[in-house]
Amino acid sequence: MEIQNCDRPRMTGSDRKSHHSEKIKKNLVTRLNRIEGQIRGIKGLIEKDAYCDDIITQISATQAALNSVAKILLEGHMKNCIAERIQEGDCEVVDELLITIQKLMKK
């Protein structure tokens, strides 16, 4: 991949779209629907005064599921969006990616 001159005008997040295949989108939506169910389950455990350790275990599982969604999105973002923008000469995207990774690592 040849990196061009990095003087491309910066686009805002609302100007850009992702390039996910229908298969990836379906996978992500399925995972998010499952996570939504897990959240409702956690709420139900709290409402039923379930044992704290059981609730924490469910929260941990939900966080792991969200991390899996983030990993899938990050991989696609790096392989498609980031690579494309670098090829177009937008080197600011590297700083954006670093900020995104820092946000993910805080969790």
Q: Is the pLDDT of residue 102 over 80?
A: yes
**In the chain, how many domains are there?**
1
Residue 7 lies in a domain: no
Does 38 reside within a domain?
yes
pLDDT of residue 13: 56
Q: Kindly tell me the number of DSSP H helices and DSSP E strands found in the chain.
A: 4, 0
In a domain, 9, yes or no: no
In a domain, 59, yes or no: yes
Indicate which CATH number applies to the domain containing 33.
1.20.58.1000
HEC profile of 1-27: CCCCCCCCCCCCHHHCCCCCCHHHHHH
**C-alpha span between 83 and 28 (Å, rounded):** 22
Specify if 5 maps to a domain.
no
Confidence of residue 97 (pLDDT cuts 50, 70, 90): very high
Whether 57 maps to a domain, the answer reads yes
Q: Read off the pLDDT of each residue in 18-22 and give the average, rounded to a whole number.
A: 82
What lies within 8 Å, CB to CB, of 58 at 6+ separation is 38, 41, 42, 45
CA distance linking residue 34 with residue 22, whole number of Å: 18
> 81 versus 4: which is more confidently predicted?
81
pLDDT bracket for residue 107 (50, 70, 90): low
Contact 68, 31 (CB under 8 A): yes
What are 38-85's pLDDT values in tens digits? 999 999 999 999 999 999 999 999 999 999 999 999 999 999 999 999
The answer to the question of residue 96 being in a domain is yes
Q: Across all residues in the chain, what is the average pLDDT? A: 88
> How far apart (Å, rounded) are the C-alpha atoms in residues 80 and 76?
6
Question: Which domain covers residue 74, as residue numbers?
Answer: 21-105
Residue 13 lies in a domain: no
